[in-house]
Amino acid sequence: MDPRRTARTVSDPKVRQVGFFTPAPPERSISDPPRFQDPIQPPSPSSTQVNDQSPSGNSLSPVMIPPAHHHSDNFLRTALQATSPPKAFSYSAKTVTIPPENEDVASSFSPGRKVVSAKSPSSFPGVKASSVPASELTTVSVVNLPPGISEKAGGASVEVQNDRPVSAKTLKEKTSKAERRALQEAQRAAKAAAKAEGTKASSAASKVVTSANTKPSKATKPSSQKNDGSQVAASEKKGGDRAPEKDRKKDAPHPRMQYDDKSRVEKAKKRAVVKQTEARNRVELFRHLPQYEHGTQLPDLETKFFELDPMHPAVYKVGLQYLSGDIRGGNARCIAMFQAFKEAIKDYSTPPEKTLIRDLTARISSYVSFLIECRPLSISMGNAIKFLKNRIAKLPLALSESEAKSTLMLDIDRFINEKIILSEKVIVKHAVTKIRDGDVLLTYGASSVVEMILLHAHELGKHFRVVVVDSRPKLEGQLLLRRLVRKGLSCTYTHVNAVSCIMQDVTRVFLGASSVLSNGTVYSRVGTACVAMVAQAFRVPVLVCCEAYKFHERVQLDSICFNELGNPDAISKVQGREEINYLDGFVNQENLQLLNLIYDATPSDYVSMVITDYGMIPPTSVPVIVREYRRDHLWS
Amino acid sequence: MWWRSASFILDRQQHQNRTVAPSPESFLLSSPPPMADSPLNPKSNISAYYQTRAAHHAVVTSDWLAQAQAAVGRHSDDDGSLGDDKGAAPIGGGGGGGGEEEGSGKAFSVIDEFNSWRKQPALAEAVAAIRALAAVIRTSEATTMMELEIELKKASDSLKSWDTTSISLTAGCDLFMLYVTRTSALEYEDFNSAKSRLIERAEKFGEISCKARRIIAMLSQDFIFDGCTILVHGFSRVVLEVLKTAAENKKHFRVLCTEGRPDRTGLRFSNELAKLDVPVKLLIDSAVAYTMDEVDVVHFGADGVVESGGIINMMGTFQIALVAHSMNKPVYVAAESYKFARHYPLDQKDMSPARRPIDFGVPIPSKVEVETSARDYTPPQYLTLLFTDLGVLTPSVISDELIQLYL
């Protein structure tokens, strides 16, 4: 069990970038070993618990904020620690003791070794106080805390519980229901785990505390003030109306894996299941994205089938299908993934001495990281995974294993039915009202929703013509074209090169999307932006059809930061035309860089309307939907 | 909950289907149309909404001044009696009930009721609809909540289908239904108290809607500064209220009024303003671009505010907005929130057509086609701000509010 456990905890953090397609940051893997050596964070279970949830928190963040954010948080905490005890008495002492508990959360966030570093013991005696068994505690607190606190701290082991109402009260205004619940969940888990690991922790903790104990007596107040200086003062002023720790953590996104950072890539490779060889000549601007030699991984993975012990075969199969490109399209991939997860949950049994909630989350995480290695996640999949993890985290503890499993499987089914299948139907209903007789509709690529719209409008007896615009190298439009023509629609097929010529007799442009981002940017198959721009120039309304579960809180201005690189061979060679071999032998040249982008970002200016399951909305209202419904329907 | 918007579409389809049946008789029932030629073509789809507007605000005959004077007199009388009306609302409801006893169907009485309210020029169509629906609740003989709700739904559907071209009517009915039926309190009480609660809510909603114009007038005062020149188009009661309030606040401003063909509502508007001693200048509709450089602010009313944040308004609004936009003049729209509609027109033709007869003064040869559409759609990018009773909003917030109102 143990080797597997480490493996899982290592892959655990990968979930954090679930929102998009980068494998885990290596930073997290460092933080894990210390967790075992350094029981300074006895509620380490709570920290993992928080980690498990933080993916949602992290990818929630709409804008990338430099991760330095955490440090300032620490400063703020320190400030609270350092300044309030002298003034504060029994009540405020209580409030002072909350931070430590949150602090564990914070420190679990920063790399584990940080906790051991000189700074934290010196500046956070309070932290120790709350997290360490009573006997050592009193020695610490008597030195530098007023009696009110030492009393409080005396009951350290129960403290988590004691604090809950207080923290809940103080946080009430700022935290949403879901967040409060998450916090409680974390605390409950912490309590449970603290009991389990209490013995181990206390023995180890005594060592650490004694070492830490030498400093605090003189260092506490002056050092913290010195260290933090003006920042403390500044942050303290705002401290009152700042959101609680957990909230702010959500604001600070996790640094995404940047593939031009060599050391990190090395580390990531070490734990990768799929060994991918990296392509050498990459376009400068896109170095931060993963690019692999295609075609090498598949046989490699196949041979590994029996070695990959924690991987469920259904998940494995889906991963291979992603890799080979058999399953593509946001909805198809999402449904396939969820069905695989359903299988996995069905066959799952909680290992002895583990809780279902934590263990299953970790296992799902490891599946997800495997899938990421096969192909970067789409945003829709990221959202779906967030949903599932949230469901797992919110399972009532009282539920038996079989009940929990069936609840989860029901949830998965419900998600597929409501968020994907039903919402497609609703979108079709809306979109059909915008098709009139005599229209010429243009679509690009192959979107499942657009196909349904066209077919439905045809069934309703509307007379219209369809222009299917396609592009190399995937030529997905031909698939769509085939299905439309078979149903008797009159179609025109052209490549994107001719879009400016054909656009003048088009009356509506229907586009699918991989995601719609908070600023109304449509993230979709590469070429979509081009079509939308031409349509806008011709004053043709552009209707983007996208299910609401694909909406994302992120703001993206270009298609460089986040994207996916496809196989460069696909654009250097033309299938079935051997005579086009101009690039043979040049592919590995140092001065040739091939770029096969998968997605692009269409600015909201080019989009007239987003058709979603909540109705037809302007692209500027996407954040409204995200704000109003995400929490209610997806997260709770 | 989250697919409710789909049912909205369904509703629309249903009542579109139903339109065919009631409209001819409703035309017979409606208040005597002022246009001479409208009885001649009762079958053609003439917009009742625009006919009412023409009846209230247009100047058709040459002695328009006298008529306008008379109308204003009536107007002020109505204003005076408005409070009485509110107090005496049950009586009106009783009248509606009487009509229902003698009449054959529910739908008739609602429309009668609606028409009787609609005759008051000061009362917006949506408010009239709200009052009519409130009367339905009052006179209803239903004994269960469900029955009442169904009855109300029927009434509002028949109202909506009575005039599909009126956006504010549809929106007002939809909002009223939401506002009235969405109270959690209904489930716990016995029927009579629930019913009285419904009536209470209905009256409250009617009052809110009545006050909307005042609120908008107050909100928009910050945007009218001394010495500015304001261009207005058509006759909008909200804009009139805004300008009236500004004049009362001793602001010095000048107003340019377009003529507002074909029903020449601009003439009436300029007349109203002249009474307030505001300097007014009349323009023909085609002189907008010519005068735009001396204009500081463009003020519109709206027949409907749609989900994109654009507005549907009297014909000519779009071209004035285009001219203003190209000359970088701010375009303000004053509209009550009951005009917010869950429509999303993509272009000018993407609306149910609202026709209105146009009198060119000379006979038109039969081969010549006449564009009779009464309204156009102004996309949100040409609007600067919307003054609503929910506050001063940018066009993109409209959809936010609509989502919150309807979903």
Q: Which residue of A433, A439, A456, A616 is the best one to mutate when testing the B interface, meaning the one whose CB has the most B CBs within 10 A? A: A616
pLDDT of B108 over the 70 cut: no
- pLDDT score recorded for residue A220: 40
Mean confidence (pLDDT) of chain A:
69
Contact A609 B407 (CB under 8 A): no
- pLDDT score recorded for residue B230: 95
Same domain (yes/no): A340, A444: no
User: Which residues on chain A are in Cβ contact (under 8 Å) with B403?
Assistant: 614-615, 617, 621, 624-625, 628
pLDDT of A131 over the 80 cut: no
User: What is the CATH topology of the domain spanning B108-210?
Assistant: Four Helix Bundle (Hemerythrin (Met), subunit A) (1.20.120)
Same domain (yes/no): A398, A457: no
Check: CB of residue A344 under 8 Å from CB of residue A362.
Answer: no
Report pLDDT digits (tens) over A241-272: 444 444 444 444 455 666 667 777 677 666 66
pLDDT of A573 over the 70 cut: yes
User: Which residues on chain B are in Cβ contact (under 8 Å) with A543?
Assistant: 346
Each domain of chain B, given as residue ranges in start order, spans: 108-210, 214-354+371-404
Determine the average pLDDT of the residues in A298-316. 69
Q: Does the residue A614 lie in any domain? A: yes
- Indicate the residue among A392, A419, A446 that finishes a domain: A419
Distance from CA of B336 to the nearest CA of A (A): 20
Determine the average pLDDT of the residues in A589-595. 80
- pLDDT score recorded for residue B261: 80
- pLDDT score recorded for residue A152: 43
Q: Which residues of A touch B (CB under 8 A)?
A: 422-423, 426, 429-430, 433-434, 436, 508, 541, 543, 548, 608-609, 613-618, 620-621, 624-625, 628-629, 633
pLDDT cut 70: percent of chain A above it: 53
Supply the DSSP symbol for A567. Answer: -
Same domain (yes/no): A466, A405: no
pLDDT cut 90: percent of chain B above it: 29
Contact A434 B346 (CB under 8 A): yes
CA-CA distances (angstroms) from residue A636 to A51, A181, A244, A630? 18, 9, 20, 9
Distance from CA of A482 to the nearest CA of B (A): 29
Q: Which residues contact B263 (CB under 8 A, 6 or more apart)?
A: B50, B53, B54, B57, B58, B59, B60, B356
- pLDDT score recorded for residue A278: 59
pLDDT cut 90: percent of chain A above it: 24
Which segment of A155-169, A193-207, B245-259, B372-386 scores lowest on mean pLDDT? A155-169
More confident site: B195 or A259 = B195
pLDDT of A544 over the 90 cut: yes
Q: Does the residue A554 lie in any domain? A: yes
Q: Does the residue A294 lie in any domain? A: yes
- B174 in A contact zone (CB under 8 Å): no
Same domain (yes/no): A399, A474: no
Split into its structural domains, chain A has a count of: 2
Same domain (yes/no): A400, A540: no
Q: Does the residue A341 lie in any domain? A: yes
Same domain (yes/no): A296, A344: yes
Task: Write the burial class of residue B76 (CB in 10 Å: 0-12 exposed, 13-18 middle, 19+ buried).
Answer: exposed
Q: How confident is the model at residue B309 (pLDDT cuts 50, 70, 90)?
A: very high
- B353 in A contact zone (CB under 8 Å): no
Q: How confident is the model at residue A503 (pLDDT cuts 50, 70, 90)?
A: very high
**B307, B309, B404 ranked by CB distance to A616: nearest:** B307
More confident site: B55 or A627 = A627
Distance of alpha carbon B164 from alpha carbon B170, whole angstroms: 7
CA-CA distances (angstroms) from residue A142 to A91, A224, A290, A390? 18, 18, 54, 41
Q: Which residues contact B84 (CB under 8 A, 6 or more apart)?
A: none
Same domain (yes/no): A277, A407: yes
- pLDDT score recorded for residue A322: 86
ipTM summary value: 0.72
Q: The domain containing residue A516 runs over which residues?
A: 434-577+586-635
pLDDT of B163 over the 80 cut: no
Report pLDDT digits (tens) over B333-380: 999 888 888 889 998 888 888 888 888 888 888 898 888 888 899 999
pLDDT of A414 over the 80 cut: yes
- pLDDT score recorded for residue B288: 93
Same domain (yes/no): A455, A380: no
Query: What is the 3-state secondary structure of A23-47?
Result: CCCHHHHHHHHHHHHCCCCCCHHHH
pLDDT of A517 over the 50 cut: yes
Contact A430 B350 (CB under 8 A): no
Distance of alpha carbon A406 from alpha carbon A404, whole angstroms: 5
Q: How confident is the model at residue A98 (pLDDT cuts 50, 70, 90)?
A: very low
Report pLDDT digits (tens) over B312-329: 999 999 999 999 999 999
Dihedral sign (CA A30, A35, A40, A45)? positive
Q: Does the residue A2 lie in any domain? A: no
User: Which residues on chain A are in Cβ contact (under 8 Å) with B7?
Assistant: none
Contact B346 A429 (CB under 8 A): no
Contact A615 B5 (CB under 8 A): yes
Q: In what order do the strands lie in the sheet with B304-305?
A: B304-305, B311-314, B375-378
Contact B399 A620 (CB under 8 A): yes
Check: CB of residue A358 under 8 Å from CB of residue A404.
Answer: no
- pLDDT score recorded for residue A215: 42
Dihedral sign (CA B196, B197, B198, B203)? positive
Same domain (yes/no): A460, A415: no
Report pLDDT digits (tens) over A186-196: 777 666 666 55
- pLDDT score recorded for residue B147: 81
Same domain (yes/no): A534, A604: yes
Determine the average pLDDT of the residues in B246-262. 91
- pLDDT score recorded for residue B329: 95
Distance of alpha carbon A110 from alpha carbon A69, whole angstroms: 11
Contact B399 A621 (CB under 8 A): yes
pLDDT of B295 over the 90 cut: yes
B386: part of which helix (H) or strand (E)?
strand B385-388
Q: Does the residue A216 lie in any domain? A: no
More confident site: A612 or A259 = A612
Contact A620 B344 (CB under 8 A): no
More confident site: B279 or A177 = B279
User: Which residues on chain A are in Cβ contact (under 8 Å) with B401?
Assistant: none
pLDDT of A48 over the 90 cut: no
Q: Does the residue A182 lie in any domain? A: no
Distance from CA of A557 to the nearest CA of B (A): 19
The strand pair at A522-525 and A599-602 is best described as antiparallel
- B380 in A contact zone (CB under 8 Å): yes
pLDDT of B53 over the 50 cut: yes
Contact A629 B346 (CB under 8 A): no
pLDDT of A590 over the 50 cut: yes
Same domain (yes/no): A336, A485: no
Determine the average pLDDT of the residues in A297-315. 68
Check: CB of residue A495 under 8 Å from CB of residue A472.
Answer: yes
- pLDDT score recorded for residue A443: 94
Same domain (yes/no): A294, A351: yes
Which residue on chain A is closest to B351 by alpha carbon?
A434
User: A170 is written with which tokens?
Assistant: 């103080």
More confident site: B124 or A516 = A516
Distance from CA of B398 to the nearest CA of A (A): 9
Determine the average pLDDT of the residues in A91-120. 40
User: Which residues on chain A are in Cβ contact (under 8 Å) with B406?
Assistant: 615
Q: Where do we find the tokens 């956070």? A: A124
CA-CA distances (angstroms) from residue B41 to A116, A550, B45, B55? 89, 51, 9, 17
The answer for A488, left when phi > 0, alpha when psi is -120 to 50, beta otherwise, is left
Which segment of A65-79, A597-611, B131-145, B207-221 scores lowest on mean pLDDT? A65-79
Which residue on chain A is closest to B2 by alpha carbon?
A614
Q: How confident is the model at residue A177 (pLDDT cuts 50, 70, 90)?
A: low
What percent of the residues of chain B are helix, what percent strand, and what percent coil, each to the nearest 5?
A: 55, 10, 30
Q: Does the residue A169 lie in any domain? A: no
Determine the average pLDDT of the residues in A371-376. 85
- pLDDT score recorded for residue B119: 72
Query: At CB < 8 A and 24+ separation, what contacts does A177-184 make?
Result: A177/A631, A177/A636, A178/A631, A178/A635, A178/A636, A179/A246, A179/A247, A181/A394, A182/A53, A182/A246, A182/A393, A183/A246
Distance of alpha carbon B174 from alpha carbon B172, whole angstroms: 6
pLDDT of B21 over the 80 cut: no
- pLDDT score recorded for residue A614: 87
Four-way CATH pick for B214-354+371-404: 3.30.460.80, 3.40.50.10470, 3.40.50.720, 3.30.1360.120: 3.40.50.10470
